Amino acid sequence: MNPETTLFLVNLLTAAVLLATPLLLAALGELVVEKSGVLNLGVEGMMLIGALFGYIAAYNFQTITCLEELIPGMCTKEQRVFTFPDYLLALVCAALAGAVLAALFGFLTQTLRANHVAVGLGLTILGAGLTNSLGSNFLGVNYTSVQVADHPEVFGQDILVWFSLVAVPVIWYALQKTRMGLVIRAVGENHDSAYALGYRVARIRFWCILFGGAMAGLAGAFIVLVHVDWKEGVTVGKGWLALALILFGTWKPLRVLCGAYIFGLLWASELRLDHLFPEYQLEWKTVLTTAPYIFTILVLVIISRNPRMIRQNAPASLGKPFNPPS
Amino acid sequence: MKKILSAFTASLLAATLTTGIAQADDKIKVGFVYVGPIGDLGWTYRHDIGRLAIEKEFGDKVETTYLENVPEGAEAVKSITQLAETGHDIIFTTSFGFMDPTNEVAAQYPDVKFEHATGFKRESDNVSTFSARFYEGRVIQGLIAAKTTKTNKIGYIASFPIPEVVRGINAFQTELAKHNPDAVVDVKWVFTWFDPAKEAEAAQAFIDAGADIIVQHTDSPAAMAIAEKTDGIYAFGQASNMSRFGENSHLVSIVDNWDSYYVDRVAAVIDGSWSQTDTWWGLSKDGAGNGVGMVEMADYGNISEELKAEAMALEAALRSGERHALPCPIYKQDGELAEDCAAGEKHLKDFPTLVSMDWYVKGIEGSLPK
């Protein structure tokens, strides 16, 4: 392979990682949620909340030193340092913010037993509205117009990239090989039986929902701290893509990982291979942007023709309301 | 108890959804439909500055409402109807994609005045259109790019293949070729107005391919932030002043200034003189140097004093009408002379050439998506 092609492929992969990582993080969290039998459509909202609060935390944790002062209090040249521990703290804040919004979902769906779909959609709208108003004025700072300095990478990639990759086998192991995973799956398969066995269905699901929220929060933080700055609605539908990704990966962490990178590569190709068919630029781009959804539909068609696959992977009680016999 | 509690929470959620439009009879109600969020710090942000200018000018006499993030196309009908239904006297719809929805709603509400930005359809008497000659700013950017680029590769992030965007590309290329015939413009269509990640990715793709100047016709400063991260890469801002996102990379921004037009139109509604118009202002109102137009150049930076003086002289010439943005001869991509120039005009005509421009000038590679 000539060096030019190699460089092109490296750049393509670098771009793919930028999209794949937030998708993978959000999808892995939601995968655990769905395995426990809960359908949370509020991923987009939780990502936005995580993104905003991760950004707010990062902005306030960075150290700003003034290099040139025109008059006292007015800095003309400043140096910003955002260290690795600061970055980790900001990520914790993002995860917490996502989890807090998820807790609202958990309270409404598990404690008050409201409809999962309706509350999930409401969560997305709430997340978008809340971040729009808080983002432009949170304790007097307009976060759409401030910047956060770059932070150190680990082995040439952001720590969240490694974290998302490590999370894949960990979540697989936890779900398939541990007692905790068995309980989560049991609750997701048949909540009545699990309840009859003495498991506290609502509580187990609540913890899974919190985990999903934290992961979505991290996904949002990745977008605003690694890729672009905070803007209102910065996730632009990635939460929905993460939901499609779980179906694409048929509730299996490794397939979700493959799916995330396939989606990422498609997204990167859209802008880097756009001169491939100059006569059909619009059609070609349309194919690439819709491909994730078309693939997901294809996968759904294939698995729905194979009852064994559905029975194995899809949680049987997904999205069904649980009313314990009283 | 649980039922009461869930009803309470549900109503709390519902309350966050409504924008809370209050009624007041004697005031003139002005409505705005935005395609993006106010916080995009670009296109929608500048329209909102225009809305605030109305409030400042008329104070208690007006009441303004806005709806943000309204999707283009059929869905916009709902939002525009919502404003028309709630007693708004004049409604500004501020994106090209609101053209058909605006005309559809306008036909049903003959007493409400509609102002559609960047479109050309005025199907009923209560619809006016307005647009800015942003391409005048592109001429200045073409000059600066020609004399700043070292790799002779320029990346142009384009949103949708509509006349407004195509005019900008052509004006940029024409001026660029005049000062630096070796420079090549690469146009990437992203098919979105606002998607920071995608805008950033397009900028990164250009930089990876060796471009050192990024031009954008999208709404967020994401591309500028990417340029700032790499040494020796420069970028132009769009819609609002983006200099603070590119301390070492910002060359100049084309800033939209809707303030004086918005104030004029609302004043016309108040005194009853509003009538259908098609307004097209550039750097000045009349193209001959009078009044504050809709296009402003903000904060020339990161260029030599000499080039800055040259750019400002060009700006002055464009403002006074001494210089046209697209003077003849203009050749199309295939080398054919543009019809207007063949007919002996001094420059391309507004009608029908510029308003419906759907062809590239010579020197741009690739084909224009239709």
Q: Domain count for chain B, please give it.
A: 2
**Is B8 an interface residue toward A (CB < 8 Å)?**
no
Residue in A closest to B226 by C-alpha? A228
CA pair distance A95, A82, nearest whole angstrom:
19
Which of A108, A231, A271 is nearest residue B220 as measured by Cβ atoms?
A231
Low-confidence residues of chain A: pLDDT under 70: 1, 70-71, 73-76, 309-312, 326
Contact A163, A214 (CB under 8 A): no
Q: Domain count for chain A, please give it.
A: 1
Does the interface predicted TM-score (ipTM) exceed 0.85? no
User: Are B43 and B85 found together in one domain?
Assistant: yes
User: Are B240 and B149 found together in one domain?
Assistant: yes
User: Are B206 and B318 found together in one domain?
Assistant: yes
**Is A279 an interface residue toward B (CB < 8 Å)?**
yes
The β-bridge relationship of strands B278-281 and B250-256 is: unpaired
* Nearest C-alpha neighbor of B50 from the set B264, B338, B355, B309: B264
Contact B93, B102 (CB under 8 A): yes
Q: How confident is the model at residue B15 (pLDDT cuts 50, 70, 90)?
A: very low
Range B224-243 average pLDDT: 91
Domain containing A18: what range?
13-313
**Is B196 an interface residue toward A (CB < 8 Å)?**
yes
Q: Which pLDDT value is given to residue A235?
A: 87
> Is the predicted pLDDT of residue B6 greater than 70, yes or no?
no
Q: How confident is the model at residue B12 (pLDDT cuts 50, 70, 90)?
A: very low
Give how far B39 is from chain A: nearest CA, Å.
Answer: 6
Is the four-CA dihedral A99, A102, A107, A109 of positive or negative sign?
Answer: negative
Q: Which pLDDT value is given to residue A310?
A: 63
User: Are B127 and B142 found together in one domain?
Assistant: no
Q: Which pLDDT value is given to residue A107?
A: 95
User: Are B80 and B177 found together in one domain?
Assistant: no
Extended beta strands in chain B, E state? 28-33, 62-67, 90-93, 113-117, 127-132, 153-158, 184-189, 213-217, 234-239, 250-256, 278-281, 295-298
> Is the predicted pLDDT of residue B23 greater than 70, yes or no?
no
**pLDDT tens digit sequence for B56-81:** 999 999 999 999 889 888 889 999 99
User: Are B120 and B244 found together in one domain?
Assistant: no
Q: Which pLDDT value is given to residue B21?
A: 41
* Nearest C-alpha neighbor of A29 from the set A48, A19, A42: A42
Q: Which pLDDT value is given to residue A143?
A: 83
**pLDDT tens digit sequence for B174-200:** 999 999 999 999 999 888 888 888 999
- The answer to which of A264-278, B119-133, B317-331 has the lowest mean pLDDT is A264-278
In a domain, B266, yes or no: yes
Contact A150 B196 (CB under 8 A): no
SS3 of A124-135: HHHHHHHHHHHH
Inter-chain Cβ pairs, chain A and chain B, closer than 8 A: 111
- The answer to which of A186-190, B10-14, B23-27, B223-227 has the lowest mean pLDDT is B10-14
Q: Which of B247, B281, B315 is the last residue of a domain?
A: B281
Under DSSP, the state recorded for B363 is T
User: Are B272 and B247 found together in one domain?
Assistant: no
Domain containing B105: what range?
24-132+258-281
In a domain, B18, yes or no: no
User: Are B247 and B270 found together in one domain?
Assistant: no
In a domain, B94, yes or no: yes
Q: Which pLDDT value is given to residue B297?
A: 94
Residue in B closest to A78 by C-alpha? B247
CATH code of the domain covering residue B276? 3.40.50.2300
Region for residue B349 given its phi and psi (left: phi exceeds 0; alpha: psi -120 to 50; beta: otherwise): beta
Range B122-139 average pLDDT: 94
**Is B12 an interface residue toward A (CB < 8 Å)?**
no
> Is the predicted pLDDT of residue B103 greater than 80, yes or no?
yes
List Cα–Cα distances, B23 to B28, B52, B253, in angstroms. Answer: 11, 19, 39
Give how far A130 is from chain B: nearest CA, Å.
Answer: 9
User: Are B209 and B303 found together in one domain?
Assistant: yes
In a domain, B213, yes or no: yes
Please give the share of chain B, as a percent, with pLDDT higher than 90.
Answer: 70
User: Are B151 and B237 found together in one domain?
Assistant: yes
Please give the share of chain B, as a percent, with pLDDT higher than 70.
Answer: 93
Contact A216, A160 (CB under 8 A): no
User: Are B262 and B251 found together in one domain?
Assistant: no
The β-bridge relationship of strands B250-256 and B295-298 is: antiparallel
In a domain, A2, yes or no: no
Contacts of A281 in chain B (CB under 8 A): 189, 366-367, 369
In a domain, A320, yes or no: no
Contact A232 B6 (CB under 8 A): no
List Cα–Cα distances, A18 to A91, B79, B153, in angstroms. Answer: 17, 34, 25
Q: Which pLDDT value is given to residue B359?
A: 93
Question: What does pLDDT average to over chain B?
Answer: 89
In a domain, B240, yes or no: yes
In a domain, A6, yes or no: no
In a domain, A7, yes or no: no
Residue in A closest to B193 by C-alpha? A236
